[in-house]
A and B are shown apart, each in its own frame.
Chain A
């Protein structure tokens, strides 16, 4: 897989979050006991763990890593890192302590883990870096007040294209500017997804692709053709996509295949259940449970699709359509955020419960204008609201 082949080997080879990387590097260089610890926040896949691992390697620092969602109680945390925070080597060398996914730990305040970490970072003799996915969790906000918080974000689209072009050049792959932009737009800012898209596209017409052993299409076809659930599980595990992307690709293949209504309903039911479980994992921040998603799909979805001769079909929307979808979803998000602030509701409730009715009412010009005034929307939203009202 190209995502593995082109995995960065040093911090300077990573893409995006340049300033954040410099801040973390400088912090580690200058860290002395008494200085604040570091908290990295950002969505999964933005390079927090990779950055810390490479940083420790490059600076020759011994790293003690702990996934906080696997060790929750104060006693276990104390046993694993208590001593490490308080001791340095015989020659005065310090170790870097890395607590990954601390939001998984903070969800269980009753276990005392949070208090332990808060106290430990105040007196630690070694630098401590923590990583969390959700910056808005209350406990993370509390923890952030005693740390330096650095935000990791997806790289800008232009940098994603730069990295794709670099890979294309190394692989001898010829792609047009529009094709590169299409990969970038479809990836939604996820570099790994963009690379997978380019690899599966490169493999489809064979244009210069050398490493097609386990592209998205091949992994999914291997899943559909598997002889038993164990082989289906291996095929899914070889698929280097995020769980949400896996579900999306599977849904596209299932919907586009000519399945009998019963089979289609059963398959979509499994996907729906998997989606609900993913949502619950997000809410409870039990990220480690994501690893069982492949098992669920292999055990429940595979028997339904077995022998149905499904093939991989890409979700191939033309670039202008993708652009329109992207722009519209940005507008809906913005409207729902502003509406939620005004109405003391959550953004999600605003989007799912209130906006559909508001859009209906936007057929009336007077209402539309009032809504635009109240939510402070500029003229670009007027056309959008008219279009939504006419749906």
Chain B
């Protein structure tokens, strides 16, 4: 199962205990949209809970800060990067570091933190 951190996803019907555990681990739930994991989620525990509840392997991916696309595809660091332990946004292949995107990165964040 592939889960985009910061995006909504659905899960098969969970038991009450698993659902409550996910809520305690900071997973968000919306009846219409489903579940969401973000910076308030304890990703390591939540992934463990989902894996044991669904008996499926969970693969986390993160989105590109600049364009919002999924960022992990084709990433040269995929072997090094434990996505449960790094922050929840990254850069995609179109906005990879060798393209000198620091300016775009700062621009994308300007005004979003303090306005």
Contacts and interface: CB of A to CB of B under 8 A. Distances in A.
B77 to A, nearest CB: 4
Contact of B106 (A13, A157, A323, A378): A13
B39 A150 contact: yes
B40 A151 contact: yes
Interface stretch (B9-17, B27-35, B97-105): B97-105
Interface in B46-102: 57, 62, 65, 71, 75-77, 79-83, 85-91, 96-98, 100-102
A384 interface: no
Contacts of B79: 323, 326-327
Interface in A131-187: 135, 148-159, 161-166, 169, 177, 180-181, 184-185
B87 A19 contact: yes
Nearest to B88: A19
B1 interface: no
**On chain B, which size bracket covers the interface?**
35 or more
B48 to A, nearest CB: 8
A150 B106 CA distance: 21
Contacts of B115: 25, 29
A164 B79 CA distance: 20
A158 B99 CA distance: 12
Contacts, number: 126
A11 B87 contact: no
Contacts of B41: 151
* Interface class of chain B by DSSP: loop
B75 A158 contact: yes
Which of A29, A153, A189 is most buried by chain B, counting CB atoms within 10 A of its CB? A153
B86 A154 contact: yes
B39 A151 contact: yes
A12 interface: yes
Contacts of B106: 12-13
Given A59-B114, A323-B79, A20 B87 contact: yes
Of listed B39, B65, B98, residue having the most chain A CB within 10 A: B39
Contacts of B85: 153-154, 189
Contacts of A110: none
Given A18-B89, A330-B82, A12 B113 contact: yes
B80 A157 contact: yes
Nearest to B115: A29
A19 B90 contact: no
15 contacts: A11-B113, A18-B109, A19-B39, A23-B40, A25-B114, A29-B115, A55-B113, A55-B114, A58-B114, A149-B26, A151-B39, A153-B86, A156-B62, A157-B86, A378-B57
